[in-house]
Amino acid sequence: MMNEVMIFFRSSVTFSRFGRLKSWGIIGAACLSVLGGCATFAPREPEADVRERAQARWDAQVAGNWEKAYSFATPAYRKAVDLFGFRSRSAPAVKLKSADVVNVKCKDATCDVTMRIGFAPLQRGYPETTTDLEERWILEAGEWWRYERF
Q: What total of structural domains would you count in the chain?
A: 2
Q: Tell me the pTM.
A: 0.70
- 35 and 51 within one domain: no
- 107 and 51 within one domain: yes
- 11 and 82 within one domain: no
- 73 and 38 within one domain: no
Q: What is the mean pLDDT of each run of 10 residues along the chain (150 residues)?
A: 51 50 53 51 87 99 97 97 94 92 98 98 92 98 93
> Residue 69 in contact with residue 81, Cβ under 8 Å?
no
> Residue 137 in contact with residue 111, Cβ under 8 Å?
yes
pLDDT of the residue at 17: 54
- 50 and 38 within one domain: no
List the domain range (segments joined by +) for residue 116: 46-146
- 34 and 13 within one domain: yes
pLDDT of the residue at 18: 52
- 25 and 71 within one domain: no
- 142 and 89 within one domain: yes
pLDDT of the residue at 75: 97
CATH of the domain at 55: 3.10.450.50
- 88 and 29 within one domain: no
